[in-house]
C-alpha cells in the first residue's frame, strides 16, 4: 500500500517576499489565487506561522454557519470564549471584533476559499468592501483573500466590475513549482527527478503521492491508474469546478493531446469553426489548462498567427495520453494495457517532450544566479515551417540588453551528446534568415542539454575513438580546486579529430586549468558553447573560435586566448 509522503515547504521565495513587504505596509489587501492543489493554503500558513493571524476557511454552507465558525476562530485567537456563545447576524460585527483586538499590533485576516462565501451570498463582495473601507483598512489589519476557482476570483475580487476593485494592494497568481526548486531538495538522481516531474509537474499536492527513490511505474499504477487512486479522476474534478459544459472542453484538450496544436487543426479535428473555438481556448488558457506558445521571434505573441496550443500541466497531459483513452479498460481493472504503453514510449516521447521545459527552467535558474552572463527578456522556443524545410530549436532565449541570443538543443537519451548535435544546431541558426532579420548583429551562445550520462561513463568516453574529437573530455583529478569546484570542469580540446599523446594532453590540461578562472560566457567567441549535463554545466566546449582554425589545439592557442584583450577577466565557472 502506497503511503502519502509529507512534503516540506519548498520554494516560493518571491511570493513570501511579496507577502512580507505587504505585511510591513499600511492598508495591505492581497489576493492570492490559482488552481487547486497548487499550494496556496500552504503558502499562507508558512507566511502566518510567526504572526498574529485569524485564518478562516470558507465552505459551502449557509451563511449563518459561516458566521458562527468565524466567530469561533475569533474567540480562539482572542481568548474571548464569550464570542462563541454570541449569535452574529452581521459580518461587520465580526470584522470589528478582529479590528479591536490589540489595535497596536499588526494582524493578518485570511479568508480562504473566498468564492464559497460569494456562492452563498452574492452580496458578500459588497459587504467586504464596506468592511475594508470602514473598519479594517485603518485598523492595523492585513487582509488576504484566497481562492481556487480562478474564474470567480477574477470576477469577484480582481475585475473592474467587482465592488472590491481598486482595494487590493497586491495579487499573487500561484503557479506550479519550477523543476529546479524541487530537484534541489528531493535528493534523487537527475533522470529520476525529470521523469517524476513529467508526471506530477510542480503541483505540491501530487508530490505527496510520489516518493523519491520509489519505482515510478508502481506509483503511477496505484495513484493514477487504479479506480481508487487519488488522481484517477483529477482532471474531471478540476474542470467541472470551473466550467459548465465540461464535455466540450474535454474534447478540445483531447484533440490537443492527440497532436493537434495549430488552431486550424484543432478546429478540424473537432468539426468546429475557428471563430467558435477561440473562446474555449481562451478560457482553458485562463484556467492554466492550456498555453499558447509562439516563436521567440514574434514581437506581439498575443496577436501572432504562428501560435501553437499545448497542454500546460504535466499531469493533465499525462492523464489525457495514458488514462483517458483507456478508461474502459481501467474500469475493468485492466491496468496492464497502460503499463505496456508506458514501457513503449513514456521515456522516448513523453518525458523527452517535458524535458524541454525542464531545460528552459534550468537555463533561467542559471541566469538568475549569474552562473551564465545572460539577462533573458524571453525564454521559449523557435520554429519555422517553410517551403525549404522546417526549422525547430528546442530552447531559445533573447537578451536584448547585451544583444545576444541563446540557442539550445535538448537530448533526453542515454547516448553521449557529441559534436554532430552541435554542428546541426549551429547550422540551423546560421541558415535562418528570420533570426538574422529579427536579431541583427546579435551574438549567439549555443547550449546542448543532456542527461548526465557523461559522468558515469567518463573513463569510457576518454578512450572511445567513436566519440568525435572535439567532444573528447580531458580528465584531471589531481587538482583539489577543480575537484571541489561548484561545477565539474570537463574541457573539450581538439577540432579535427587528430589524435594526440598523453603527455601533450597533460600540457593542455595544465593550461586549460589555468585558463578556467578567466573564462566568461562571452559570445564574442562565436564558437563558444555550453553542455548542460543534468542541472550542471559539465562541459565548456570550444573555448574560442581560434580552436576551430587549427587541426590540433596547441599550448600556443591557449596562451593566445589568455593574452587576448577580447575576453573578460570575470569568473564564469566558480
Q: How far is CA 18 from CA 172, 248, 361, 493, in A?
A: 9, 38, 22, 47
Q: What is the pLDDT of residues 453-488, one digit of tens each?
A: 533 233 333 344 433 333 333 222 222 222 322 222
Q: What is the pLDDT of residues 420-447, one digit of tens each?
A: 777 788 889 989 999 999 999 998 888 8
178 DSSP assignment: P
Q: How many H-runs (helices) and E-runs (strands) does the chain carry?
A: 26, 15
Alpha carbon distance 352, 394 (integer Å)? 11
Among candidate residues 409, 372, 388, 254, the one with its CA nearest the CA of residue 317: 254
Q: How far is CA 86 from CA 83, 89, 565, in A?
A: 5, 10, 80
Q: Judging by beta carbons within 10 Å of its beta carbon (0-12, 13-18, 19+), is residue 352 exposed, middle or buried?
A: middle
Confidence band for 417, pLDDT divided at 50, 70 and 90: low
Alpha carbon distance 355, 349 (integer Å)? 10
Q: What is the pLDDT of residues 15-44, one digit of tens each?
A: 999 999 999 999 999 999 999 999 999 999
Report yes or no: 297 and 272 within 8 Å, Cβ to Cβ: no
Alpha carbon distance 58, 74 (integer Å)? 14
Alpha carbon distance 94, 450 (integer Å)? 58
Angle between helices 179-186 and 352-368 (to 10 degrees): 90
Q: What is the pLDDT of residues 503-561, one digit of tens each?
A: 333 444 444 444 433 333 222 222 334 555 455 544 343 332 323 333 233 334 444 44
349 DSSP assignment: I
Element (H, E) at 312: none
In whole numbers, what is the pLDDT of the chain averaged over residues?
A: 80
Q: Is the pLDDT at 259 greater than 60, yes or no?
A: yes
Report yes or no: 197 and 180 within 8 Å, Cβ to Cβ: no
Among candidate residues 574, 293, 294, 572, the one with its CA nearest the CA of residue 445: 572
Model pLDDT, residue 52: 96
Q: Is the pLDDT at 373 greater than 70, yes or no?
A: yes
Alpha carbon distance 537, 530 (integer Å)? 7
Report the predicted TM-score, pTM, of the whole model to 2 decimal places.
0.79
Q: What is the pLDDT of residues 57-67, one digit of tens each?
A: 999 999 999 99
Q: What is the pLDDT of residues 207-239, one digit of tens each?
A: 999 988 899 999 999 999 999 999 999 999 999
Q: What is the pLDDT of residues 140-157, one digit of tens each?
A: 999 999 999 999 999 999
Confidence band for 370, pLDDT divided at 50, 70 and 90: confident
Q: What is the pLDDT of residues 164-189, one digit of tens each?
A: 999 999 999 999 999 999 988 888 88
User: 291 - beta bridge partners?
Assistant: 310
Q: Is the pLDDT at 572 greater than 60, yes or no?
A: no
Q: Judging by beta carbons within 10 Å of its beta carbon (0-12, 13-18, 19+), is residue 103 exposed, middle or buried?
A: exposed
Residue found by looking up cell 516540506 in the block = 8
Amino acid at each position: 500500500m502506497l503511503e502519502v509522503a509529507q512534503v516540506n515547504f519548498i520554494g516560493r521565495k518571491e511570493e513570501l517576499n511579496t507577502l512580507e513587504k505587504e505585511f510591513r505596509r499600511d492598508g495591505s489587501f492581497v489576493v492570492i489565487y490559482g488552481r487547486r492543489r497548487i499550494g496556496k493554503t500552504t503558502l499562507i500558513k508558512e507566511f502566518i506561522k510567526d504572526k498574529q493571524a485569524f485564518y478562516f476557511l470558507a465552505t459551502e454552507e449557509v451563511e449563518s454557519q459561516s458566521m458562527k465558525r468565524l466567530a469561533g476562530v475569533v474567540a480562539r485567537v482572542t481568548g474571548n470564549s464569550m464570542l462563541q456563545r454570541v449569535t452574529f447576524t452581521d459580518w461587520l460585527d465580526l470584522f470589528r471584533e478582529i479590528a479591536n483586538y490589540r489595535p497596536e499590533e499588526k494582524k493578518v485576516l485570511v479568508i480562504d476559499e473566498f468564492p464559497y462565501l460569494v456562492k452563498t451570498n452574492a452580496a458578500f463582495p459588497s459587504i467586504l468592501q464596506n468592511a475594508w473601507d470602514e473598519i479594517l483598512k485603518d485598523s492595523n489589519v492585513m487582509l488576504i483573500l484566497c481562492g481556487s476557482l480562478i474564474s470567480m476570483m477574477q470576477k469577484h475580487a480582481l475585475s473592474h466590475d467587482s465592488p472590491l476593485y481598486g482595494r487590493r494592494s497586491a495579487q499573487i497568481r500561484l503557479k506550479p513549482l519550477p523543476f529546479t526548486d524541487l530537484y534541489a531538495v528531493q535528493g534523487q538522481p537527475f533522470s529520476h527527478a525529470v521523469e517524476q516531474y513529467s508526471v506530477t509537474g510542480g503541483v505540491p499536492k501530487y508530490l505527496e503521492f510520489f516518493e523519491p527513490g520509489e519505482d515510478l511505474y508502481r506509483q503511477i499504477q496505484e495513484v493514477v491508474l487504479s479506480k481508487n487512486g487519488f488522481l484517477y479522476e483529477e482532471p474531471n474534478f478540476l474542470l467541472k469546478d470551473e466550467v459548465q459544459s465540461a464535455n466540450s472542453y474535454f474534447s478540445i484538450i483531447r484533440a490537443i493531446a492527440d497532436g493537434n496544436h495549430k488552431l486550424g487543426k484543432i478546429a478540424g479535428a473537432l468539426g468546429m469553426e475557428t471563430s467558435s473555438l477561440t473562446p474555449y481556448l481562451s478560457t482553458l488558457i485562463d484556467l492554466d489548462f492550456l498555453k499558447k506558445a509562439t516563436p521567440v521571434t514574434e514581437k506581439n505573441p498575443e496577436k501572432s498567427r504562428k501560435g501553437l496550443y499545448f497542454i500546460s500541466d504535466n499531469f493533465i497531459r499525462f492523464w489525457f495520453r495514458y488514462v483517458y483513452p483507456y478508461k474502459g479498460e481501467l474500469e475493468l481493472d485492466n491496468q496492464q494495457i497502460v503499463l505496456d504503453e508506458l514501457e513503449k514510449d513514456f521515456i522516448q516521447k513523453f518525458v523527452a517532450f517535458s524535458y524541454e521545459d525542464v531545460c528552459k527552467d534550468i537555463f533561467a535558474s542559471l541566469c538568475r544566479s549569474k552562473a551564465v552572463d545572460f539577462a533573458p527578456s524571453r525564454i521559449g522556443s523557435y520554429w519555422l515551417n517553410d517551403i525549404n524545410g522546417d526549422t525547430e530549436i528546442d530552447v531559445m532565449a533573447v537578451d536584448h540588453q547585451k544583444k545576444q541570443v541563446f540557442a539550445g538543443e535538448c537530448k533526453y537519451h542515454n547516448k553521449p551528446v557529441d559534436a554532430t548535435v552541435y554542428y546541426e544546431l549551429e547550422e540551423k541558426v546560421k541558415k535562418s534568415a528570420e533570426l538574422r532579420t529579427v536579431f541583427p548583429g546579435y551574438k549567439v551562445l549555443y547550449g546542448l542539454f543532456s542527461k548526465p550520462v557523461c559522468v558515469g561513463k567518463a573513463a569510457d568516453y576518454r578512450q572511445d575513438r567513436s566519440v568525435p574529437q572535439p567532444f573528447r573530455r580531458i580528465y584531471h583529478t589531481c587538482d583539489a580546486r577543480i575537484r571541489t569546484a561548484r561545477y565539474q570542469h570537463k574541457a573539450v580540446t581538439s577540432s579535427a579529430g587528430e589524435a594526440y599523446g598523453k603527455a601533450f594532453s597533460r600540457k593542455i590540461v595544465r593550461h586549460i586549468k589555468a585558463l578556467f578562472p578567466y573564462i566568461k560566457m562571452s559570445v564574442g567567441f562565436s564558437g563558444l558553447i555550453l553542455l548542460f549535463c543534468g542541472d550542471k554545466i559539465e562541459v565548456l566546449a570550444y573555448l574560442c573560435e581560434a580552436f576551430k582554425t587549427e587541426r590540433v589545439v596547441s599550448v600556443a592557442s591557449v596562451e593566445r586566448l589568455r593574452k587576448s584583450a577580447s575576453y573578460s577577466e570575470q569568473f564564469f565557472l566558480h
